[in-house]
């Protein structure tokens, strides 16, 4: 576990440190498209965040290759090289798309080629365990076709959900964290080394998303673009393909007490025959709804619109941050609930807890809007946008004026302002606030 944590921390650090220079590079090369009708942000924001994420991927694989326990993944399996080859190809196409806006069919073809490159190097589905039936052996062309389909679907599912600041990176981070726990249990719990590559991929993917999120949270300073969304979608697909098609349930049967029990233990990864839906349920649901909606209207399935799940949350009256948190909640509930059920499938408490949390999620949809704020004791450790409105405004005025903080003044009962901050009225105790803001 310590080597996984080291790989995770290195990936986070490299991705985080590279994102700042990448942002300056994106501005310099003009990778800042104009505001489109479907966009929810109001100012042009640089893309190409996938460059930093790809750097984190390379750093994570390089560090893992030099660690004693993880080095065996590279010596006994060709899957890390297959992942890096496919990721490099899809990342390069994404960089070109962030700059020059490639056609959707060109990107689709590139996704299929990247999946084919991974298949040629051994990252493919060999057999498919089906609950109640057992292990179903696939022919070479069946396994290759299913692998390519899984990669393309996952990439587009992540790409479709990338519509709000921090949404795609956070949801993929949640999915990869759940998948890491799942793969780690199969490897060390059952002693099956075939699950080692998938576990490593999930840890690195988690680090890529965690390192990028501080720059991408609302209001985002940089977008990951297609270079980032397609990249993390491909890495997520590689993890699911590796553990779904490479881990033999017959080996698990030695530990689980029979083939049916072994297949049932791996149920969260094998219920859907097209994709581990329990891990990426929300992006897949958004993808399916988008295809049905656009086809019903006579549009291309790749035509962008404002009908995604996160757009509907905004239309319901939720704030940007609240919509993202709601999507996080449902992603975590489904992903970690499936993993918990795979561990204790006979426990009724798991089902009751999932039902209770689902009810809580429905209640959250009906609560008044709010903007998340850090506790007052932690305000000095977070960016100004996460502090309480009054203190953030006061800090901004002091910064512009270069003055010392004034003693606190009693605030009269007034009108409740935006985000729950109490204001006295049009003449607040910061008369030069607008002027100071314009001077910045």
Domain boundaries, the chain: 2-271, 376-439
Rounded distance between C-alpha atoms, residue 32 and residue 28, angstroms: 9
User: What's residue 156's pLDDT?
Assistant: 86
Under 8 Å between Cβ of 268 and 206: no
User: What's residue 218's pLDDT?
Assistant: 79
User: What's residue 224's pLDDT?
Assistant: 92
Quick: pLDDT tens for 374-414: 677 776 766 665 566 555 565 555 555 554 444 444 444 44
298 sits in the region (left: phi over 0; alpha: psi -120 to 50; else beta) called: left
User: What's residue 50's pLDDT?
Assistant: 94
Going from the C-alpha of 355 to that of each of 173, 280, 348, 349, 400, the distances in angstroms are 23, 19, 11, 10, 51
Q: DSSP string covering 376-399, please?
A: GGGGGGS-GGGS-HHHHHHHHHHH
User: What's residue 350's pLDDT?
Assistant: 73
Quick: pLDDT tens for 276-331: 455 566 666 767 777 777 777 777 666 666 555 656 666 666 676 777 887 788 78
71 assigned ligand-binding residue: no
For residue 75, give the H/E element and its range: helix 71-76
- The alpha carbon dihedral of 351, 355, 361, 367 has a sign of negative
Cis status, amide bond into 6, omega within 30 of 0: no
Under 8 Å between Cβ of 250 and 262: yes
Rounded distance between C-alpha atoms, residue 242 and residue 236, angstroms: 10
Q: Which regions in the chain score pLDDT beneath 50?
A: 268-276, 403-440
Of 99, 104, 229, the residue nearest 171 (C-alpha): 229
305 assigned ligand-binding residue: no
Q: Which residues pair with 101 in a beta bridge?
A: none
Rounded distance between C-alpha atoms, residue 244 and residue 328, angstroms: 25
pTM: 0.73
Q: Strand, helix or coil at 186?
A: helix
User: What's residue 263's pLDDT?
Assistant: 52
Of 212, 165, 167, the residue nearest 43 (C-alpha): 165
Q: How many CA atoms does the CB half-sphere of 28 hold within 13 Å?
A: 6
205 sits in the region (left: phi over 0; alpha: psi -120 to 50; else beta) called: alpha
- The alpha carbon dihedral of 8, 189, 234, 66 has a sign of positive
């Amino acid at each position: 576990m310590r080597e996984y944590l080291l790989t995770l921390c290195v990936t986070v650090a490299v991705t985080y440190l590279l994102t700042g220079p990448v942002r300056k590079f994106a501005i310099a090369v003009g990778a800042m498209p104009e505001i489109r009708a479907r966009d929810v942000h109001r100012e042009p924001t640089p893309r190409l965040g996938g460059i930093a994420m790809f750097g984190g991927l390379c750093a994570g694989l390089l560090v893992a290759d030099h660690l004693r326990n993880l080095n065996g993944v590279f010596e006994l399996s060709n899957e890390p090289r297959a992942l890096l080859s496919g990721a490099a190809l899809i990342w390069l196409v994404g960089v070109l798309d962030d700059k020059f806006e490639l056609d959707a069919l060109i990107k689709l073809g590139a996704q299929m080629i990247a999946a084919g490159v991974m298949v040629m190097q051994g990252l493919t589905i060999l057999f498919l365990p089906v609950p109640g039936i057992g292990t179903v052996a696939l022919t070479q062309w069946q396994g290759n076709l299913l692998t390519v389909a899984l990669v393309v679907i996952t990439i587009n599912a992540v790409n479709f959900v990338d519509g709000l600041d921090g949404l795609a990176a956070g949801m993929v981070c949640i999915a990869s964290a759940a998948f890491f726990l799942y793969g780690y249990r199969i490897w060390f719990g059952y002693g099956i080394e075939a699950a080692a590559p998938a576990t490593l991929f999930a840890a690195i993917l988690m680090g890529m998303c965690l390192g990028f999120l501080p720059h991408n949270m609302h209001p985002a300073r940089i977008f990951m673009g297609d270079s980032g969304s397609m990249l993390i979608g491909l890495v997520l697909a590689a993890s699911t393909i590796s553990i779904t098609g490479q881990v033999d349930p017959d080996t698990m049967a030695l530990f689980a007490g029979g083939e049916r029990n072994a297949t049932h233990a791996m149920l969260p990864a094998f219920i859907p025959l097209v994709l581990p839906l329990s891990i990426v349920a929300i992006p897949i649901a958004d993808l399916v709804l988008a295809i049905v909606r656009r086809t019903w209207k006579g549009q291309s399935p790749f035509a962008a619109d404002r009908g995604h799940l996160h757009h509907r949350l905004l239309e319901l009256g939720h704030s940007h941050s609240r919509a993202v948190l709601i999507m996080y909640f449902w992603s975590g509930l489904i992903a970690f609930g499936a993993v918990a059920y795979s561990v204790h499938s006979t426990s009724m408490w798991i089902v009751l807890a999932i039902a209770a949390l689902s009810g809580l999620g429905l209640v959250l949809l009906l609560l008044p809007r709010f903007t998340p704020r850090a506790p007052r004791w932690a305000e000095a450790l977070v960016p100004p946008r996460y502090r309480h409105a009054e203190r953030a405004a006061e800090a901004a005025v002091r910064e512009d004026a270069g003055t010392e903080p004034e003693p606190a003044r009693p605030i009269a009962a007034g009108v409740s302002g935006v985000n729950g901050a109490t204001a006295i009225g049009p003449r607040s105790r910061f008369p030069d606030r607008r002027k100071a803001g314009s001077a910045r």
